[in-house]
Each structure stands twice: as C-alpha cells, then as structure tokens.
Structure 1
Amino acid sequence: MDINALLDFALVATNGGLGKASRASGRSKATLSRRISDLEEQLGVRLIERSARGLKLTEAGELLMARTEGPINEVAEAMTATRDGLSKPRGRLRVASPVLFSQLAMGRIAAEFCAAHPEVTLEVMAEDRMVDLVEEQIDVAIRVNPSPVSGLVGRCFAKDRLVVVAAPAIPVPPPGVAKAVPSVVFSTFKPTHWTLDGGRLVLEPIPRITLSSFLMIRDAAVAGAGAALIPQSIAGEQLARGELVQWGTISNVEVALWVLHTSRRLPAPKVRAFVDFMCKRYPEQVLALQG
C-alpha cells in the first residue's frame, strides 16, 4: 500500500474536504483526489462519497480512519521531525492566547522566544474564545483553567489569584455578615457574594459600573469607583504604589495558566521549545503582569 496515499486520505478526512485539505497542505485538490482514488482502487472499496454538498466518509472510510489515525499521525510527525531536524526548532509557530495575557505579556515573550530561536517565525492570536487547534491550524494554545477533557496536553506554567481591591479612600468593611459594597464588575457578572480569606470577610457587590476588561475595572477601582474583583497579577504595581488596597483573596479559587498542544507522542521541535520556554520563564509559577 502507498503510504503517501494513506497520508493524503487522512489529511482529507481530518480536514473534512479536498478544499480545506488543499489549503492546509498546499497541495492541489486534483492530486489529493487522485491519491484517494488510487487508494480506493488498491483496497477495492469506496472510502469517500462525493456529492455536490461535499465529501463524506463511507463506513469503510470511517473504519480505515479509526484504525490508522494514530499511527498515521505518528508517521507524519516522524517525517516532519526528521525533515526539520530532531532538535532544531524552525518554521512558523502559531499561538492562541487570552486577550489580557496577550496584551500584557505576549509581546515581550514573543521577542524573547524568537531571539532564542531565530529560525522560528511566531504568530500570536489574541483570542478569548476556545479555538480549535486542528481546524484552525494552531500549534499552541494558552488557556486559563482548561478542561481536562479538551483532548489537549501540556503543562501549567503560572498561577494567579483573584483578589478584591479598592482605592484607599474606600473603607474596608468589618468582618461579619455579608456587607453590601458599591463595585465595579465584569460584563458577565451575576448576583453573588465574594467570600474572602476563608470566610473572614463576605461582600455583596452592588454593581455601579460594568466593564468588559479587567484593565478597565482595575483603573476604575484606582479612580475610586468601588471595590473590584480582579486577578492579583495585574494589580501588583498599583498595590505597591498605594493606589489600591487589597481587601482579601477569593477563597478556594485557583487560576492556572496552561500552555497546551494537541495530544501527540512526537510534538514538533518548535512546539516543545515553546512549552519549555514558557515554563522556564515562570520558574516559581508566579504570574506578574505589567500594564
């Protein structure tokens, strides 16, 4: 059996059509179609049904894909690793990162990573949505508290905490039953209580201003608009200068940042290099952002 024909079949099946497979691989649709036809001829079965609405795997095609997808991926990755060099990161690396982390950290990270790996071209997309790494041809994603069932693997490189802060002029409520406090809240805010330091202080936030960015919320808090719940990593400078006072830390909530890639036994050298770089950049896993 022609291994190249099998690779092309997997490419078309994974991308859901000849057009997407052609754009993903840079190979012509005619070549991909011919390879699949050759494979069907060798096996004596039809693998893909062709219609005006696109392509669909037959039962035989689904069986072949299920049985060969893992080995085929390993073969393709091994060939890529051999071509690119077993330890030399090179080529284009596409990274999806949350908007806030991108704005405050990814510019410096990108510059430092490319200086360390001059044969890598880095493309960073600031996205808060859950990007599909395979469908959108993204190599690495940085995510906050990712779902364990996402099908991705990687490492936690930094941790953060959620804290309630306010300008010094706003008095800190005394401990006890829930205290209503004027607050600046995120756009997804729903009525709730902020329980701080294991129950030492319980607050009932009363929204005065609703904003869609933690940076805007922080700046509004500095201006005295009310208490605010924000990541501690973006308030370090304001706390140090006395522009904000930290009232407490949200109990039992950990914010973990992970660098993730598709579940593969042989990740590309550029992917391994980026994962290692992110973990070494935050050796104590303490996140501190400037902005």
Structure 2
Amino acid sequence: MIPPADMLLFAAVVREESFTRAARQLGITKQTISERISKLEERLGVRLLERTTRRLRVTGAGATYYERCSAIAAQIDEANSEVQQRHEEPVGLLRVSSPMLYGRRFLSPVISEYLARFEQVRVELVLADRRIHLIEEGLDVAVHIGPLNDSSLVAKKLGEGPVRFVASPRFLAKYGAPSARELRSARCIGFSPFETWEAEGVKSRIDPVLIVNDHELACEAAIAGVGIARVPDILSQDAIRDGRLKVLFGPRPAALRAIHVVYPSRLNLPAKVRRFVDAMATLAQTETPPRGRPRRKRA
C-alpha cells in the first residue's frame, strides 16, 4: 500500500516545482524527499518526475497522478480546517463553579455576554461556599478565592480581594473603636464559635456575639450595629462609601485574598473553557477593585 504521506509529499514537490522549496515547506531535508519520491515511483512502477540539474519536469503519468494527489491534499486540508474551526467555536455544556458572593456579584454579566456571543454553548453555574473537586464533580472551570491547595490544576490569577474590619457609626458611638489588643473582648460577628483575627499584627481569639455562615448576613448585621465584622471589600465598599460602615484599624486591608480561575489542564483545552477563562480575565481587568481601592466602571 502506498503511504498517503508520500502522495502528499509528491503533490507538494509538483506544486512547488522544486525539491528544495518542498523540503523547506515540509520541514525535512531535500535528500529525504528525493529518496521517498524514488521509492514511490518504484512501488507504482512508473516514472513520475524527470530530474535534471537545472529543472524538474512532470511526466504524463506524473501529471495524472498529481491531479489525484492534489485533490486528496485539498480534502485533507478541508477536514483539518473543519475540525480546527469546531475546536475554536465553543460548543456543548460548560459547568462552572464559584463561591456564592463572587458568583452573585460578578458572574451574571460575564455569563450573559458569553452566552450571547457563543450560541452553541450552554452554561451550568454551581454556587457553593465549600471546597470544590473539579474532576470528581465533572466541572470544567471554577473561581477559587484564597490559597490554592491543588497543584494539579491550572490557575490564572484574576486579582486580589481585600478584606476589612468594619463597624457601624451607631456601634462605635455606643462601644467606642477598639484597639487591636482590645479586639478579643469586643462584640464581633464571626463564622465559627471561636476564630482568630489579626489586626495591626496582633492576633486575637474572638468569641462572637453573632455567628453566621454568609458574608452578606455578616455585613448586614454590622450595618445594623450588632458588632464588628470582617468582610470582603466587594461587599462592604458601598456601605463604607455612604457612611453606613466605618473601617477600623487604619486604611490597610486586614487581608488580601487571591482570586483565581482554575481548570484541569492546558492540554487540548476546549474552546468553551478557553473562551470563558478569557472572558473572566477581561472582567477582572475592568471590574475587580485593585487592592482595596474601588475602580470606577468604564463609561
């Protein structure tokens, strides 16, 4: 059987009218091309090319054979282009996971635009404030906030989310603003019966007067004057701006939590994932507040 690769090589030689140019195009040596053409002619039992030191001429049999080989080459190019085009166009179901707060605040516009742009794809969004196992749960991509604990995943950093200590003017008028060392005895809103907070380099084990499992509830309780809360900037910045909350312990954030978009592998990355990751990176450049300073939205 004649190897199809040798038929394509012959078509390239005739098309370029030169062993040298064909070798350069195919990334192989002129000697290799000459040897493979000779073996092709031997297997076919006909002379395809007449070679001289100055020119290359196709025989009658070679011209007929070239028509067939060039048609095959064109079909192969068409098939490759079709597959590549399908690979470039997002299709199928994209399963995305995100922490609840980030998902509610940021993902709705990016998903809406993504679906409007790519009509052959569908999105399933899973909001969960827990550790996500991408592969085990059949997810394509996830937003991760905080330290990365799975080195097998590919991670693209979107930015950093500041966290601040806040309290309402009413609370501060009643109890006063505590120093960092007084935080352990202050009325606090936490997420577990006992947790450790750090302010101005001082670590304090607090005993919350209110325990919640949602940052928005913690922020709302702080606005209501229940106590001091430690909440993400994206949640508290509006209340800080209009005076419903005050920042404690200076302007520096209490912490900066890294925000990444993660996915299983770069190898043969589906277009639906690649395009979504690109959309998330664009969102981060235009919407995410950098290091605690709210960025104005572009007009």
In the superposition, the TM-score normalised over structure 1's length comes to: 0.62
1:286 to 286, 289, 298: 289
Cα distance in 1 between the residues matched to 2:188 and 2:241: 22
Aligned pairs for 1:113-192 (under 5 A) are 113-171=114-172, 172-173=176-177, 175=179, 177-179=181-183, 180-186=185-191, 188-192=192-196
1:271 to 2:273 alignment: yes
Cα distance in 2 between the residues matched to 1:139 and 1:283: 22
8 Å contact 2:110–2:279 — kept in the other structure? no
Q: Which residue of 1 aligns with 2:247?
A: 246
- What is the root-mean-square deviation of aligned Cα atoms in Å? 2.7
8 Å contact 1:162–1:232 — kept in the other structure? yes
8 Å contact 2:188–2:206 — kept in the other structure? yes
C-alpha spacing 1:102/1:220, structure 2 compared with 1 (3 Å): same
Cα distance in 2 between the residues matched to 1:129 and 1:176: 30
Deviation, 1:204, is: 6.1
- For the residue of structure 1 that corresponds to 2:133, the secondary structure is coil
Q: Which contiguous aligned blocks of 4+ residues in structure 1 show a shift greater than 3 angstroms?
A: 174-179, 202-206, 248-251
Q: Which residue of 2 aligns with 1:13?
A: none
1:194 to 194, 198, 215: 198
Q: What is the count of residue pairs matched by the alignment?
A: 205
Deviation, 1:225, is: 0.3
Per-residue CA distance 1:183-209 (angstroms, 9 max, x = gap)? 1111x352434313x56xx76644111
Richer in helix (by share): 2
In the superposition, the TM-score normalised over structure 2's length comes to: 0.61
Cα distance in 1 between the residues matched to 2:256 and 2:180: 24
- For the residue of structure 1 that corresponds to 2:196, the secondary structure is coil
Aligned identity (percent) is 25
Q: Which residue of 2 aligns with 1:212?
A: 213
8 Å contact 1:182–1:208 — kept in the other structure? yes
Q: Which residue of 2 aligns with 1:237?
A: 238
Deviation, 1:111, is: 1.1
C-alpha spacing 1:91/1:181, structure 2 compared with 1 (3 Å): same
- For the residue of structure 2 that corresponds to 1:156, the secondary structure is strand
- For the residue of structure 2 that corresponds to 1:256, the secondary structure is strand
Greater radius of gyration (CA): 2
5+ long unaligned stretches in structure 1 = 1-78
- For the residue of structure 1 that corresponds to 2:116, the secondary structure is helix
| Structure 1, 209-218 or 152-161: larger mean CA deviation | 152-161
- For the residue of structure 1 that corresponds to 2:90, the secondary structure is coil
C-alpha spacing 1:204/1:241, structure 2 compared with 1 (3 Å): farther
Deviation, 1:105, is: 2.6
8 Å contact 1:194–1:250 — kept in the other structure? no
5+ long unaligned stretches in structure 2 = 1-79
Richer in strand (by share): 1
C-alpha spacing 1:212/1:174, structure 2 compared with 1 (3 Å): closer
Deviation, 1:101, is: 1.6
8 Å contact 2:95–2:123 — kept in the other structure? yes
